[in-house]
Structure 1
Amino acid sequence: MLSLSALYRFPLKSAVGESLQLAQLDTLGLSGDRRWMIVDAANGRFLTQRLLGQLTQLKAQWLDAQHLRLSVAGRTDLLVALPSAAAKLRAVTVWGDSLQVPDAGDAAALWLSDWLDRPCRLVQVPAERARQVDPDYAKVGDRVGFADGFPLLLIGQASLDDLSARVGRPLEMLRFRPNLVISGSAAYAEDSWKRIRIGALEFRLVKGCSRCIMTTLDPLTGLRSADREPLATLKTYRERDGEVYFGQNLLHSGPGELAVGMAVEVLE
């Protein structure tokens, strides 16, 4: 029997994720997931662990619907309020997308700039300013916040177990930053799924997730694997057309609720 065995949310893009037992879905995916992002102060370009491995150590947690708490070892925590409707808009870019989103203010910018030792700003995306999902895979009106390209990411637990066996050591699921983890399937069974149902919600699996150097960062320490694992092993059997794939990107049917332990049904 297939079941939803884990739920993860990442309030701040590329910062530490949090494990949930219950999660709401809104128009952009898991409520509160990747709604904040750090950008270069000069050009608005998004900053991630690909460039700044120390982001693996930054915790960003929702205290309630209006406040985010930033914390990192050795520094005083900072409470950041959700920007108001009157907040200054900042031009930012996420891959090929450009958008205008509210800036979270000077206090957050100073806190992050001092810790990262580079000028940066913290921004937040309200639903009405979110990006259109790639129309090659989605319909007009499907939106995504600051995630790389799609609202949700799914990985089968058996797929991670198989990869760990091939690498020769246990790998952390958070290294791959999924939102949904499914147990009870064969390894990589999710590659062939087109539609699934969890509770009252339906999901379309629309595109494999291509992987990068971020997977070689230990999510606990921020240290990069000297042997370039697990990316090196993935390249031996999960590469096609110059990309390495692990996990599946999802689109959801609408708002609703998910809970760990829910049954998963493959519809197509």
Structure 2
Amino acid sequence: MKVTGIFIHPIKSCQRIALEQAEVTPKGFTWDRELMIVDHRQQFMTQRDYPQMAKIQVKLSGKVISLSVQDESLEPFNFEPQLTGNTLAVKIWRDNTIAIDQGDEVAIWLQKALKLSPMQPCRLVRQSPQQLRRINPNYARRSEDQVSFADGYPFLLTNTASLEELNRKIAENNLINISEVPMIRFRPNIVIESDCPFVEDDWKLIKIGEVYFDVVKPCDRCIVTTTDQFTGKRDELKEPLKTLATFRRQAGGVMFGQNMIPQNTGVIHKEDQVQCLEHQ
């Protein structure tokens, strides 16, 4: 088994960046979900309620982020994320934390890009290094385990063989021909190639390159998986959720992929070998 994809999402729920290698930090890959958009109540915004977030393209060059959207009337916007400035008390799921506001200009650009009304102002915030966001203690392995603005865990791993099996079942369950669901719908950080569907379900400890990961919890999936990650359009047949529910429903939801917590830091690369050191 080997790594075939490495991805970061610098702004939560916006488009991903594919990498050849990435640095593993305690809270995730460097830059992954480091920023997020919040609404006028300082509540986090995602594609669950704003599928148009999928259209925002993100590029990273050194310390500068470039934003663009497929809208000829809106010019791309470049900015350098700041770790100083005004702070906001924000909420992501059940967590309340203090984040660093990134200013009026990028907020106005995002409001236009997302086509929000003047009554729906938004702000872009960056996670403060002084405000650690702890992992759910029911799944954390160490007291210092932490996470970025990701939903709950530093890393999400998916398996190509699992996706192939899912697409096979989708084809069986639908009377009309539909396109295969791409891996991008699941927004993973690490994609591995294997020949065994859902082999990751049985993992407890794995090693990728020189980095050890605790595999702590299957990932319960939501409506985002039915959203085209370039256009923001929802799948009319509600795939892949409809088919996943027929064979991947467990206590807590419909599962695809595994959440992981790193034991150490380091760099992982595409083509790195994946070893399972301990099973559930």
TM-score with structure 1 length normalisation? 0.95
Alignment correspondent of 1:142: 145
Q: Contact 2:69–2:113 at 8 Å: present in 1 too?
A: no
Distance 2:111 2:208 in 1: 41
Distance 1:77 1:221 in 2: 17
Distance change >3 Å, CA 109–CA 232, structure 1 → 2: same
Q: Contact 1:156–1:187 at 8 Å: present in 2 too?
A: yes
Q: Does 1:161 align with 2:160?
A: no
Unaligned runs of 5+ in 2: 172-178
Distance 2:236 2:170 in 1: 13
Alignment correspondent of 2:127: 125
Residue of structure 1 aligned with 2:211, choices 198, 201, 204: 201
Q: Does 1:79 align with 2:52?
A: no
Distance 1:192 1:185 in 2: 15
Q: Contact 1:80–1:104 at 8 Å: present in 2 too?
A: no
1:46-96 CA distance string (max 9 Å, x none): 1111111111110122221x32211112221111222143x1110111100
Alignment correspondent of 1:111: 109
Alignment correspondent of 1:90: 88
Alignment correspondent of 1:26: 25
Distance 2:217 2:236 in 1: 30
Alignment correspondent of 1:70: 67
Distance change >3 Å, CA 91–CA 200, structure 1 → 2: same
Distance 2:267 2:213 in 1: 13
Distance change >3 Å, CA 150–CA 91, structure 1 → 2: same
How much does 1:127 deviate? Answer: 3.2
Number of residue-to-residue matches in the alignment: 264
SS at match of 1:175: helix
Distance 1:221 1:171 in 2: 14
Residue of structure 2 aligned with 1:218, choices 216, 228, 245: 228
Alignment correspondent of 1:38: 37
How much does 1:185 deviate? Answer: 4.0
Q: Contact 1:196–1:203 at 8 Å: present in 2 too?
A: yes
Which runs of at least 4 in structure 1 moved beyond 3 Å after TM superposition?
none
SS at match of 2:130: helix
Distance 1:185 1:135 in 2: 33
How much does 1:242 deviate? Answer: 5.0
Q: Contact 2:23–2:267 at 8 Å: present in 1 too?
A: yes
CA RMSD of superposed structures (Å): 1.2
TM-score with structure 2 length normalisation? 0.91
Alignment correspondent of 2:244: 234
Quick one: percent identity of the two aligned structures?
37
Alignment correspondent of 1:101: 99
Unaligned runs of 5+ in 1: none
Q: Contact 2:157–2:190 at 8 Å: present in 1 too?
A: yes
Distance 1:91 1:80 in 2: 22
The 5-angstrom pairing of residues 182-201 of structure 1 reads 182-201=192-211
Distance change >3 Å, CA 165–CA 236, structure 1 → 2: same
Distance 1:52 1:254 in 2: 35
Distance 1:68 1:143 in 2: 24
